[in-house]
Structures are given as C-alpha cells and as structure tokens.
Amino acid sequence: MSINQATPEQAISIVKVDISSISKYRYQYLNELPLAQEFYVEGLVKSSVCYEIYAEKQFAGYALIHDKVIVEFYLTKSMTGIARNAMTSLISETASTSSLCKSFDQLFLDTCNQIFNRKEIVGYLYRNFETSQTPELVNLNLVVEPVTTSDLQSILSIDCQFFADEDEVKTYFEPDSRIFKFTARDELVGCGIIKQVIPGMNDYDIGYVVSPEHRQKGVATYIATQLRNYCIEQGWNPIAGCSSENIASRKTLERAGFSAAYTLLKWSV
C-alpha cells in the first residue's frame, strides 16, 4: 500500500472553505465526469457552501452543499477508499439531509447507495441525440431571429414562470449564451435559449418556452430541434435536462431526437 493510500478507518475532518480554494479539484472533477455537468445542478453550485475533506490531516476531496443537500462530492483517486466514512462525517458535521446525484457520477452514486435509505428520480438528463430526427411543423411557418432588447417585455409575457425576471433574460445576451425568438406573421410564438454550462467547456444547455395559445402544435419540438442543430453548427455539444414531473418537456426533447439514458437522483435519510 502506498503511503498516500487512504484506508476507511482513517480519521476524517470537515473544514468549511471558500469555493475558490478548491477550484483546481473542481476542474478535475468536472473533467473526470464521463458526461456533461447538469445545468440545474451548476446553478445550485453557485450558491452552495464548500467543505474540504481531510483524512488524517491530508487533503482528500471536497463537497458542495446547497440548503442541506449535497450536490457535489469528490475525492482524489488515492482517497476513494474512505468514501463511506467521508460521507458519514460530512452528513454529521453539516447536518445535511439529502443528496442530488447524477446517475453517471459513479463515486457519488455508489456512496449514496451505501449511506442513504431512500432515492427517487427527480430529473431526466439528456446527453445523447440523433440528428436524423428533424420534425416539421404543419400549417405554421416560423421565422427565427435573435432577440433584441426591444423584445424583452414580449418575451417575458409569454410565460412569467420560465424566466425569473428581465435581468435573467439579459444574461442570454452574454457571449456564452444565445436567445432566439420564433414568430409567425409577426406574432411571437416562442423563444429558445442556449447557455454554456461551464466556462471553457463545450457543453451547452438548451431550453425553450412557447406562448400558451401555440402549445401542443409541435412548436416546442421544432424550437428544441433548431437549438440542437444550431449548437452542432457552432461545434458545441447540446444537452438538456428536465424535471421528472415535466412529462411534456420530456416528450418534446425525445421528439427532437434526444434520449434520456441518465437521471438526476435525490437520496435522503
């Protein structure tokens, strides 16, 4: 056994730190994931509390916790043997009650399976797609254009629950994002958004909203397909995710050629 090899019985300590202190290790974690980070989870990360994990005073890894929910759990390769002990200590020290784990995050997934009693699927993660699927709209010719600042209020009027406020819409004008409007005879039918998940990485999350009077006509599928194709043309990797309860969005993404082989799991004690 290497002198740096961790063993399960080693004493674990949990230290609250600023997230900037683990940036190097978080970059390793994101690069070691077999698939793209989930956009929703990345949003939680921004307001999470960061903890470093030590085994016998040696750095072992880190965890990010959002409102008592563990959203990231990472151990260096030489420290994976202490995973169960580390997670138990983390829960005890931080009073965490649950975790949110991507089904392709193997270490986190295996550890949750040992520690927590209950799990449920709370989201579906779309990481694969088939480009041969390109649905067509019937009796509706849509014009696609970039959104300008003069469109902000009309975009917000489509569905006030999709965007939090005008400031959120404006974030899609930034260099790592795109927002498009889809119109029919000058009437706003829907809009599509594209957002880079992690700066410097090639994964872009897509989203869409359709005005109430134009729903269930294939518009959302058309928008999702156009966003997918746009990402591919830019050399980007399009991804998506949706709540397990959002059956309509799941059907839309699947009609647009995406497939959900992975899930977002919530584990609880």
Do 139 and 183 lie in a common domain? yes
Residue 123 CA to residue 89 CA, distance in Å, equals 27
pLDDT at 6: 66
Output the DSSP codes for 4-60.
T---TTS-EEEEEE-GGGGHHHHHHHHHHSSSPPPHHHHHHHTT-EEEEEEETTEEE
Residues 6+ apart with CB under 8 A from 176: 195, 196, 199
Do 247 and 153 lie in a common domain? yes
Do 112 and 177 lie in a common domain? no
Question: What residues make up the domain containing 36?
Answer: 12-116
- The DSSP secondary-structure symbol of 201 reads S
Do 255 and 136 lie in a common domain? yes
121 belongs to a structural domain: no
Do 139 and 248 lie in a common domain? yes
Flag residues of the chain having pLDDT under 70. 1-6, 8, 133-140
Exposed / middle / buried, residue 133 (Cβ in 10 Å: 0-12, 13-18, 19+): middle
Do 47 and 137 lie in a common domain? no
Quote the longest CA-to-CA distance of the chain: 71
Three-class SS state of 137: coil
pLDDT at 135: 64
Compute φ and ψ for 232, nearest 5 degrees: -60, -40
269 belongs to a structural domain: no
pLDDT at 137: 59
Do 58 and 82 lie in a common domain? yes
Q: What Å distances lie between residue 121 and 103, 128, 246, 267, CA to CA?
A: 10, 19, 12, 9
Residue 176 CA to residue 162 CA, distance in Å, equals 20
pLDDT at 164: 84
pLDDT at 256: 92
Q: What is the CATH number of the domain that holds 111?
A: 3.40.630.80
Output the DSSP codes for 237-250.
EEEEEEETT-HHHH
69 belongs to a structural domain: yes
Q: What Å distances lie between residue 11 and 58, 64, 110, 112, 258, CA to CA?
A: 10, 20, 21, 20, 45
What pLDDT digit, counting tens, does each position of 170-210 carry? 999 998 999 999 999 889 999 999 999 999 999 999 999 99
As for how many domains the chain has, the answer is 2
Do 132 and 109 lie in a common domain? no
